[in-house]
C-alpha cells in the first residue's frame, strides 16, 4: 500500500487530499465530500463551483491541478490564461461532455 499523500490547495479555502484510502474535499477546514474514485473528486469540485460562486475560483484552481482533469490537460497545453473561470463554469453549468481533442482544442457536446 502506497504511503504517498497528495494535498492540492495548500491551506486554502478549497483543498483536495488524496492517499491510498481515497480522496477528501476539504472546504473551509471541514470535509465536504470524500470517496475513492478520482472522477468523483472532479465532479465534487465542479459541483462546489456551481453552488458557491464565492469558492468557484478556488475550486477551479484545485481541479486544474488534479491529475487527469480535462481542465489540467487543456491548461497545460495552452498556459494559465487558456481557460478562464467564466468559460469553465459555463461549460460545466450547461452540462454535456468536454474534452481536449488531438489538436489541443476544447470540444463540448451537449
Q: Give the pLDDT confidence of 49-59 residue by residue, as tens digits.
A: 888 888 988 88
- Domains of the chain, residue spans: 6-109
- What is the per-residue pLDDT across 7-20, written as a single tens digit (0 to 9) for each? 888 889 999 998 88
Q: What is the mean pLDDT of residues 93-106?
A: 72
- What is the per-residue pLDDT across 60-81, written as a single tens digit (0 to 9) for each? 888 777 766 666 666 666 666 6
Entry pTM: 0.67
pLDDT for the residue 82: 66
- What is the per-residue pLDDT across 79-95, written as a single tens digit (0 to 9) for each? 666 667 677 777 767 76
Q: Which candidate, 37, 55, 59, places its Cα nearest to that of 46?
A: 59
Amino acid at each position: 500500500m502506497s504511503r504517498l499523500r497528495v494535498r492540492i490547495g495548500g491551506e486554502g479555502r478549497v483543498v483536495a487530499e488524496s492517499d491510498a484510502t481515497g480522496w477528501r474535499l476539504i472546504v473551509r477546514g471541514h470535509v465536504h465530500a470524500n470517496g475513492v474514485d478520482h472522477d468523483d473528486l472532479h465532479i465534487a469540485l465542479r459541483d462546489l463551483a456551481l453552488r458557491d460562486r464565492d469558492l468557484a475560483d478556488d475550486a477551479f484552481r484545485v481541479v486544474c491541478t488534479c491529475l487527469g482533469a480535462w481542465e489540467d490537460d487543456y491548461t497545460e497545453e495552452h498556459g494559465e490564461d487558456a481557460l478562464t473561470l467564466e468559460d469553465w463554469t459555463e461549460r460545466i453549468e450547461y452540462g454535456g461532455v468536454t474534452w481536449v481533442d488531438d489538436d489541443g482544442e476544447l470540444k463540448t457536446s451537449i
